Structure 1
Amino acid sequence: MMARAERHESGRTARKDDVIQIRAMAGTKALLNRAAAMRGQKLSEFMLESARREAENALLDQRSFFLDDEAHEAFVALLDAPPAPSSKLVDLMARKPAWDH
C-alpha cells in the first residue's frame, strides 16, 4: 500500500508512513464519525487534525519565559494588582449564557 503525502508549510511533500492506532468505545467512534462527516472529512483526517491542534495548544500552554530582576518585579507587581474590570466586562459577565435559558 502506498503511503499518502502531506504538504508542509514549506510547500514540500512528506510521506505519511507512520501509523497511529487507538481503541475507542462505539459511542465515541460514532460521535467522531458524525463530527468528521459534518466537516466533510474522513474520520482519520478529522482525528489527526483535532489531535494536532490539541497537542499544539498543550505545548503553547507550557511556554517558559525568562525575565531579568527588574522585569520580574514589574511582572509580579502587575499580577498582584490587576486592573479593575471595565463596566463592559462587568455587564458581560453578569449576562445569563444563551445555553442557560
Structure 2
Amino acid sequence: MQISTRKPTRDKQINVRATDEERAVIDYAASLVNKNRTDFIIEKAVHEAQNIILDQRVFVLDDERYQAFIEQLESPVKNVEGRQRLMDVKAEWK
C-alpha cells in the first residue's frame, strides 16, 4: 500500500527574473532530481535561508534575557545519557 503525503498548498506568489542561461541551468538541475522548476527553486531557497538563519553568530539580548541565557549555559546537564551520546559522535572531518 502506497501512502502519499500531501504538500501544503502554495498560495503566495514570488516573482523572479532570470536570464535564459540561468533558467536553463535551473531547469536542467531540477530535471536531474525529478522536480519541477517551482519545487526546485523553493526547496533550494528555503534550505539556503534556513542555513543563513542558523549561521547567525550575533545575538542581541536585553539584560534579563542575557542573564537567563547565561544561567542555562551554566546549569548542570540534565540529560547525561543524551550528552554522552552527543560527545561520542565522531566528527566527519576527523
Question: How does the TM-score come out when normalised to structure 2?
Answer: 0.54
Which residue is equivalent to 1:22? 16
Q: Let me know the Cα RMSD of the aligned residues.
A: 2.7
Q: Does 1:35 align with 2:29?
A: yes
Q: What is the CA-CA distance between 1:21 and the residue it aligns to?
A: 0.7
TM-score calculated relative to the size of structure 1: 0.50
- Tell me by how many angstroms 1:67 deviates: 3.6
- Residue ranges of structure 1 left out of the alignment (5+ in a row): 1-5, 8-13, 72-88, 93-101
Post-superposition Cα deviations, 1:18-44, rounded to whole Å, max 9, x if no partner, equal 011100011111110010000000011
Which contiguous aligned blocks of 4+ residues in structure 1 show a shift greater than 2 angstroms? 63-68
- The 5 A counterparts of 1:1-101 are 7=7, 14-62=8-56, 64=59, 66-67=69-70
| Percent of aligned positions that are identical | 30
* Structure with a larger share of its residues in strand: 1
Pair member with larger Rg? 1
Which runs of 5 or more residues in structure 2 are unaligned?
A: 1-5, 60-65, 75-92
How many residue pairs match? The answer is 61
